[in-house]
Amino acid sequence: MQKKVIPELNPNVSVDCVIFGFDLDKLTVLLIDRGQQTQGGPRLALPGNLIYNDENLDQAANRILNELAGINNIYLEQVGAFGDPNRICKEADKEWLQSIRAEPEARVITVAYYSLVKMADYAPRASSFAKTAGWAPVTQIFELAFDHYEILQVAKDKLRQKIKIQPIGFNLLPEKFTLSQLHKLYESILEKPLDKRNFRRKVQKLGIVTPLKEKQQGVPHKPSRLYKFNEEKYEALSKNGYDNFDF
């Protein structure tokens, strides 16, 4: 006695995505603008929506990113599940749900994901209920819809943990980059200054970057050497992690 399963939205489970980018100077995150609510309240939100009953969570995240920001098929890592019964408490959020959901009062648990992408590859386009989508520097975000601000903080923590175990940057930087840019990337994720010389030494010893013969052009100061990632070394370290610190 099987029920026939018709693909349908699950009213109780959503997915939200924290997509990090890097503008060569600071860490940014992709947000959608849901427009002004009559109640006021935050306009900006993480891209996210309810899942369908026939898709798994990763698939849902990728579908939603596509629908809301035109981003396709990227690798996502889970941040965690957020299920406070009061996570939908702001009036502006309730008003907004009235306009987009069939069951706006339903209890919703959300599963958050994060990812790192090259900003240049994903000029986000508005669509669906996102009036616009765009990149905002993480340091300039102070409130978001629902519990999205909290989710962002947890995602930043996860990223900060990850950076200690795996190399980061391949998915955030253009193909050719300078060590200063990589340095700034690490500083903006870790939110603290790192010694320039020690940073360079470490990166080079790890062997994840290869110097090119080219140099930066059009900068009003000494041009920097360009590097690319050494994919084999980078991959190896991504898989195995920095295996330091085995207790």
Partner DNA sequence: TTTGAAAGTGTATAAATGACACGAAGTTAC
Partner DNA sequence: GTAACTTCGTGTCATTTATACACTTTCAAA
Smallest gap from Cβ 195 to a copy of itself, in A, equals 10
Q: In this chain, which of 76, 116, 179, 209 binds DNA, going by CB under 7 A? A: 179
Cβ nearer to DNA, comparing 130 with 179: 179
Q: Give the range of 21-29, 74-82, 116-124, 139-147 binding a copy of itself by CB under 8 A.
A: 74-82
The token pair that represents 240 in the structure block = 């195995």
Q: In this chain, which of 94, 158, 162, 200 binds DNA, going by CB under 7 A? A: 200
Smallest gap from Cβ 223 to DNA, in A, equals 5
- Look up residue 125 and give its DSSP letter: -
Report the DSSP beta bridge partners of residue 111: 15, 81
Q: In this chain, which of 38, 140, 217, 244 binds a copy of itself, going by CB under 8 A? A: 244
Decide: is 244 part of the binding site for DNA (CB under 7 A).
Answer: yes
Q: For residues 87 and 147, is the Cβ–Cβ distance under 8 A?
A: yes
Q: For residues 21 and 137, is the Cβ–Cβ distance under 8 A?
A: no
Q: Which residues contact 166 (CB under 8 A, 6 or more apart)?
A: 237, 238, 241, 242
Q: Which of 16, 23, 216, 18 is nearest to 118 (CA)?
A: 23
Specify the pairing of strand 132-137 against strand 27-33: antiparallel
Q: Which of 128, 96, 113, 129 is nearest to 60 (CA)?
A: 113
Q: What are the backbone dihedrals phi and psi of residue 205, each rounded to the nearest 5 degrees, phi first? A: -65, -35
Q: In this chain, which of 195, 214, 231, 232 binds DNA, going by CB under 7 A? A: 195
- Look up residue 50 and give its DSSP letter: E
Interface pattern 139-178 for DNA (x via CB under 7 A): ---------------------------------------x
Decide: is 213 part of the binding site for DNA (CB under 7 A).
Answer: no
C-alpha 187/C-alpha 192 separation (Å) is: 5
Q: Which residues contact 4 (CB under 8 A, 6 or more apart)?
A: none
Cβ nearer to a copy of itself, comparing 132 with 162: 162
Smallest gap from Cβ 177 to DNA, in A, equals 11
For a copy of itself, the binding residues (CB under 8 A) are 2-3, 10-13, 51, 53-57, 78, 80-81, 83-85, 105, 107, 109, 111, 161, 163-165, 186, 190, 192, 194, 199, 202, 242, 244-247
For DNA, the binding residues (CB under 7 A) are 178-180, 195-198, 200-202, 205, 215, 219-225, 244-246
